[in-house]
Every structure is written in C-alpha cells, then in structure tokens.
Structure 1
Amino acid sequence: MSVPMLRSTAAVCTTLSALAATTILSGPSAAEPFSTTPCALHRTDAHHSEGVDTWNPDYTRPIGALDAVMIFLSFPDASPRTTPAELTADHFPATSHYFEQASYGRFTLRPHPLKHWLRMPRSSTAYAIKRDWSADDRAAYLRDAFAVADKEVDFSRYQVVYFVADPDAPGVDSDATKVVNLDTPVHVDGTDIRRVVTVFEKHPPDRLVLAHETGHMFDLPDLYHRPVDGKGDWDTYVGDWDLMGSQFGLSPDLFAWHKWKLGWLDPRQVVCVRGAGPTRLTLEPLEAGPGVPVQGTAGAPAFGLGHGVKLAIVRTGADSALGFEARGSAGSDRGTCRQGVLVYRIRGEAESGGGPVEVVDAHPRTGACWENSVYPPLADAPVALGESFTVPGEGVKVEVEGRTTSGAWTVRITPGVHDG
C-alpha cells in the first residue's frame, strides 16, 4: 500500500460547519427513491437535510453490516498512558449496541481496531487542535494521519474511519471530536474517502459520543442549538429526546423520523394523517423491537411489539411537518423522565444545527428531572395518558386515549385546517 500523496492542504479543507460530524462513505451513484407518501418532505441542499423522499447518494446507508477501522495516533511529545485496547473498550461494544437497538437489528457496525499506536511525525501541539479548528491545521493533521496509517491499513476494506488521538497528549482537545467532510476526497488503496471521524476524547470519554459522531456519517444533523457566544443552553431544540441533540440525554434513541430516513422503519410503520377529521391509531413505543420488553398496562414487561406503527405525520407546509411518536422507558430510552406521545416539528430546509427538528412542549409551564435532564423544561414534553394537546400555531390536536395490554398507545389526531 502506497502512502497517499495529498495534493495540498486544500485537499483536506472541510465544507463542514464547525459543529457538524460524520464519517467516511461510499454511497450509491444516484439518489434512491425512498418514500412516496404525501407526508415525506423533499430532500434539499441543506447540510444534512431532513427530507426523506430520496436518500443522499453522498452518504453510506446504514443497512446490514458496515466495517469501521480504529487507528490510534500517538505523538513525539507524549508517551501514551492508555492502550489501544482500553480506548477501544471506551467505545465498543457500546456504540455497536446502540445502533443495533436503534435499528431494530437492521444495522450492525463492526469495529476493527488496530492493536498498537502509530506515531505521528509532529508533536500534538503543532497541529493546534481545537473545536473550531483552522482548515490548514486540520489538513496537516489528516495528511500526516493518512500517511502513517496507509503503511498498515488497507482502507478499501472499510466504510468508516476513526482516527483516535492519544487523549493524554498535551495538544489534544477533547472538545474537538467531530467528523471532517473533505472538499476533495482522499484517494487511497483505490478508495475515495470523503469523511473521517477525528476522535480526541478523554479517557473515559463522554457517553455515546462516538455514536453521535457516527450518526453524522449517515446524514443525520446536529439537533442542538449553539449559542452565539458559546454560553447558555445548548439543548433548547430537542432536550433529552435524540442522540443527535445530546449524547447525555435521558432518552437518546433516535427520533422515528430519523429511523424512517435511515431505512429502519417499513412503509407500513409510518402513517400520514390527512383530512380535517380525526384519525385514531395505535402507536407502538419507539424503543420496542423484536425481543425488546416494554412496560405493559399491568406494569409487567410485555413482548411481541416491533412491527406496528412507530410514526404518525401531519404535513403542515411545503417544507414542514409534525411528527408524533410514543416514547417509553426501555432500550436506549430506559432513563426516560416522562412517558407519552412526543410531538415535534420537522423542517426540511433547515441546516444541521439550525433547528431542523424541534420538540413541541405539551407542558410549557413545567419541567421535570432537574437533577439529570440536559434541559428540564422539555423533559416532560410528551402528551401523557389521558391528556389532549393542540399544537400552537398549527391547529393540530392529539389526544392520548389509552394503552393496550401490550404497552402500545392509542391516540387520536385531528389535523384541523392546516392539513398539507
């Protein structure tokens, strides 16, 4: 394997906003038709658009098994105090387990970690690593990382690349972990690499951080709000309710809209609610999959769910919709603060980090779980059993009428005059 000769530092400049993240890929050659339902928003040119009518061919689709290589980078100015095996255990099998649960077994991420450190040619401080990294410094880091790694790694075997830096090196900033999107792909071992995850996490790392970064590789957007001055609440858009909002959330499962986008829901598991009159339907808990127990009406674990409706949608405009899904306390959501039917707005034109999804708070005057929620005002956002709620500005009403013996939720949705 030859050492890749990058044309210049410009070859690894990024188009990504400072916060976005995502990993390598080799996608299909043309956009794939994905959904023809009237409630499917069109995919736009927005970074990580929430449109679901086609799949973006620049991204690998997380269906079946994908192979990920973990490459461990040390520096001349530090001797690692951890081993590659210890750093691998920081992220796996937890990351694979997260995606296995979230996808209902439809996606498997297979890690292939190197067993030893590879020495970078320059000190860690020479790369000026930080969250809002300069393009030139980032390009130099990636150029050197590919050069040392290609001597031992056949990149053609992998769909995901993680460059993991020595967490104790003096120039490593744990806040700089992200996915780097390349304007010009790195061509190595006959493969065009368009994205890599640069991991600078401390040991042990932040919870589910690698799952969050890997989510960007599958075209999922950042759902948090970054304050202009970096101060204040970051979690005002979705709170605890999606991994792409916060990896620390009490309920970090992916929204049903995202599972639909990724291909983890069958068409029959998504209902488009249309017309002015009410529609009654049964929503399975989002986390329920084959063999995953959920709480039944008697309080005991119930099985057998996993193939019913997970998402109801009301179209509210040419580029907007409301999503309705049931969230319980099982699987990745076992720490859920409040159960019920969660309502959220989706905007296909919104950029990653610009509020493409926003949870609608059914209890705007209260909060919950102040000790451990990332944003308590939204911790009690779901519409609870026996409650009704009309979405402000939309005239769409949802009533949570009951629970089935298996733990599913019976709801009635009335679109009103804003049916798309």
Structure 2
Amino acid sequence: MTALVATTILTGPSAAEPFSTAPCALPRTDAHHSEGVDTWNPDYTRPTHPLSAVMVFLSFPDATPRTTPTELTADHFPATSRFYEQASYGRFTIRPHPLGHWLKMPRPSVAYGIQRDWSMSLRAAYLRDAFAVADPVVDFSRYDIVYFVADPDAPGVDSDATKVVNLDTPAHVDGTDVRRVVTVFEKHPPDRLVLAHETGHLFDLPDLYHRPEDGKGDWDTYVGDWDLMGSQFGLSPDFFAWHKWKLGWLDPRQVVCVRGAGPTRLTLEPLSAGPGVPQQGPEGAPAFGLGGGTKLAVVRTGPDSALALEARGATGNDGTACRQGVLVYRVRDETASGGGPIEVVDAHPRTEACWENSVYPPLADAPVALGESFTVPGDGVKVEVEGRTASGAWNVKITPRELA
C-alpha cells in the first residue's frame, strides 16, 4: 500500500461529472482540490446525503491507554455532525460508528515515526498494520468514511500529524476499495473542530491556510477566521458560500451571477442563519428547511478567477463572529490547496479587531458593514451595503469596474 498525504495528491478533471452551468462557475482544473465548480470530481464522495463513518481505536505495545474509546468518540461527536448539519442546511450529516474497544498495533508507537511531515514508507507501514488489526472485527464495506484514532498518550503519537491520507493504490478490504483514511492523533481533549476540518478534505475541499516555509509566522493570512478549511479555531468557521455551492448545498437559484454594465442590487441572506437552524423533526430528530434566498453573489474577474460576496453574521456556525457584514473574497481555480485558492479581501485594511481571540486580527473586521461602500483593489468592483431587511438580510449594490 502506497500512502500519499492529501496535500501532495493531484486529482485531474478527466472524469468530470457535470454540476453547474452558471456563467460565473469557474471550471475545475487539475490543481489539487481545485475550486472550480462547473464539474464534480467523482474521485470524491459528494456530501449530499448522510454518510456512515467507522472509528477504529488503535493502541500500542509501548503504552497503556489512559482514555477510553467512548471518551475519544465524545471528543469529536456529536460536534462534527452538528457542524455539518448546520453548514449544509440539513442536507448532510455524519453517522459515527465507533468501535467500542482498543485494537493493539503490532509495533510500538515510536516505531512508526509519526509526525506532521510523515515519510511515505512509515505512513504506509502504519496503515498496513492498522488495516490488518481492524479487518477481522470491522466490515469496511459498511462504511463511507474511515477514522483511525490513535491512543493520544502513546509516546510516539504527534497530534500535529492528524491528516487525510489518499491511497495511491486503494486498500481492498471486505470487498470494497478504501481510497482515503483520516488518521487521527489528536490529544484529549482535541483541537476545536479538527475532525470537521480533516473530513472536509474527503469532500475535495482545500487547505486555505498559508504555511510559512520555515514554519514560523502567521498561518492565517489568506482567510483569517472565515472558513473552517483555513482554521478550526476561527471565530466564523462556517464554510464559504463558494464551498457550499461546490458541495451541492446551495440550489442554483441561491447563486447570483453579477453580469452586465449596470449596477446590480440584490439581497443576501446571512450564510449561517435561518434554514440552518434545526427545528423539531420526526420522532424528535433535527429537521432543516432550505431557504430560497440568495446566499452567494459572484463577479467573474477572469477566465480562472472570480470575486465572491456573501453575508456573514453571528448565527449558527458563525455564532462567535467578530464582525458582521458582506464578506468579499477572491477565488482562483488554478491555485492548489495550501497556495491561497481563496483570499479574503479586507474592507478595512488599516484596522484590526478581536485581538484576544481572532486567529488573524487584521482580517477579523474584513466585511463591508452596514452603510459602507468599498471598491475592491485591482478589480475595481464597488460594493455598497445599503440596508437590512426585517429578517436580517443585507441589501447590497454591486457596480462593475467600468461604472464604479
């Protein structure tokens, strides 16, 4: 089994499945986790229906676990499922199936060289052993997602090594091919929403953070607090509307392509508000209704780039938002995961906010606020937030370059 870390795999668009025909839909390219939305990459599962996930708990000969599988399951669920239920407006959830006991790996934890930049051979050895000990007790054909959860207190376990692993050659177990695995090495309790972030890669979402070459400096300069794929610690970690479009959680009528020479006025519903709030469903289960209002406005700025606009407020997954208003960001379909495929445009470049808890205060106050106007540098698109509706939506005027 040859294991390749998710951030190094290139998945091309050769077997594309048609998705959006909107004129502002950027084409999917061969960039890793391309932000193109005209087609869906069939190598990835689209999260438009509930998926089942098995959690396999791995111990090692050089340590006795100090936590239980039940405690580690509670570290991640139901928080992960709730995040996705809210983000998808009830269209998607993860149903966890935790193994109730530890399975012992054949080698000590220190023998696997577990670390963030893990060697391919050692990671492959870890996965071979994990599948070997799990196969007798787990029917992998029953599950869509595999989480291998390591004993967090074993001496060789590094919490920074939690990753999605793409298998160059799928593991064939129980009559099914397993192409991707989430290797979990989180401490107990874990980082906030870390499993939700890693799970996002299973659905072809890119890393939006910037990793400094020397490992020092700010990691959150691209998007700050504004998307889970940038930081699981963000104050506003809901997925960008662009990602919700890509994942199939927005109806076509909820995306407006801004075209033509004249100004366009539209009303943007808050991204996390309204239909994402659970109501009482059958037999006490959460139920969600998909709102019909506009969630995303897009201005094409080139063959491979666009500006996206969405309303962000302190609701739902964004309940701890630092500032609210209309967020503007650039999208590039040829920029790979980790290279800045999305960059938030700061409408207040001279100020910062929420120093005490923002992951990147310079972008914490990025949205265009009520009564403000802002012209996007380099693109010349003018954004004016003219008012609010009684329901809390935002009235926006967008003027293209030639009239701005």
TM-score (norm 2): 0.95
2:91 counterpart of 1:101: no
1:64 positional shift: 1.2
Of the three residues 238, 248, 253, the one matched with 1:263 is 248
Aligned to 2:373: 388
2:98 counterpart of 1:113: yes
Relative to structure 1, is the Cα distance of residues 305 and 37 closer, same or farther in structure 2, using a 3 angstrom cutoff?
closer
Aligned to 1:7: none
Of the three residues 58, 79, 83, the one matched with 2:43 is 58
| Contact 2:88 2:276 (8 Å CA) reproduced | no
Aligned to 1:23: none
Of the three residues 50, 53, 66, the one matched with 1:81 is 66
**Deviation per CA, 1:62-90, whole angstroms, max 9, x where unpaired?**
01110000000000000000000000000
Aligned to 2:185: 200
Aligned to 2:4: 14
Relative to structure 1, is the Cα distance of residues 225 and 157 closer, same or farther in structure 2, using a 3 angstrom cutoff?
same
Q: Which amino acid aligns with 1:275?
A: G
Aligned to 2:158: 173
- Once residues 234 and 349 of structure 2 are traced to their aligned partners in structure 1, the CA distance between those partners, rounded to angstroms, is 19
| Contact 2:268 2:393 (8 Å CA) reproduced | yes
Aligned to 1:345: 330
Of the three residues 207, 211, 216, the one matched with 1:222 is 207
Aligned to 1:231: 216
1:276 positional shift: 1.9
1:17 positional shift: 2.8
Aligned to 2:32: 47
Of the three residues 293, 299, 305, the one matched with 1:308 is 293
1:12 positional shift: 2.2
1:292 positional shift: 2.7
- Once residues 399 and 166 of structure 1 are traced to their aligned partners in structure 2, the CA distance between those partners, rounded to angstroms, is 52
- Once residues 259 and 304 of structure 1 are traced to their aligned partners in structure 2, the CA distance between those partners, rounded to angstroms, is 15
SS at match of 1:231: coil
Relative to structure 1, is the Cα distance of residues 160 and 275 closer, same or farther in structure 2, using a 3 angstrom cutoff?
same
Q: Which amino acid aligns with 1:70?
A: M
SS at match of 1:222: coil
Structure 1 residues without counterparts, runs of 5 or longer? 1-10, 21-28, 294-302
2:294 counterpart of 1:279: no
- Once residues 116 and 291 of structure 1 are traced to their aligned partners in structure 2, the CA distance between those partners, rounded to angstroms, is 35
- Once residues 316 and 227 of structure 1 are traced to their aligned partners in structure 2, the CA distance between those partners, rounded to angstroms, is 28
Q: Which amino acid aligns with 2:125?
A: A
SS at match of 2:148: strand
Q: Which amino acid aligns with 1:203?
A: H
SS at match of 2:128: helix
Aligned to 1:69: 54
Runs of 4+ deviating beyond 3 Å: none
Aligned residues: 393
Q: Which amino acid aligns with 2:164?
A: V
Relative to structure 1, is the Cα distance of residues 154 and 233 closer, same or farther in structure 2, using a 3 angstrom cutoff?
same
1:32 positional shift: 1.8
Q: Percent identity?
A: 83
Aligned to 1:136: 121
- Once residues 397 and 145 of structure 2 are traced to their aligned partners in structure 1, the CA distance between those partners, rounded to angstroms, is 42
Aligned to 2:281: none
| Contact 1:288 1:305 (8 Å CA) reproduced | no
Aligned to 2:226: 241
**Deviation per CA, 1:24-57, whole angstroms, max 9, x where unpaired?**
xxxxx95221111110000000000000000001
- Once residues 132 and 403 of structure 2 are traced to their aligned partners in structure 1, the CA distance between those partners, rounded to angstroms, is 56
- Once residues 296 and 403 of structure 2 are traced to their aligned partners in structure 1, the CA distance between those partners, rounded to angstroms, is 19
| Contact 1:289 1:307 (8 Å CA) reproduced | no
- Once residues 34 and 58 of structure 1 are traced to their aligned partners in structure 2, the CA distance between those partners, rounded to angstroms, is 14
1:178 positional shift: 0.4
| Contact 2:258 2:297 (8 Å CA) reproduced | yes
TM-score (norm 1): 0.91
| Contact 2:87 2:276 (8 Å CA) reproduced | no
| Contact 2:55 2:146 (8 Å CA) reproduced | yes
- Once residues 361 and 223 of structure 1 are traced to their aligned partners in structure 2, the CA distance between those partners, rounded to angstroms, is 16
- Once residues 32 and 13 of structure 1 are traced to their aligned partners in structure 2, the CA distance between those partners, rounded to angstroms, is 26
2:317 counterpart of 1:332: yes
| Contact 2:235 2:358 (8 Å CA) reproduced | yes
2:252 counterpart of 1:252: no
- Once residues 16 and 402 of structure 1 are traced to their aligned partners in structure 2, the CA distance between those partners, rounded to angstroms, is 43
Aligned to 1:5: none
SS at match of 2:6: coil
Q: Which amino acid aligns with 2:118?
A: W
Structure 2 residues without counterparts, runs of 5 or longer? 279-287
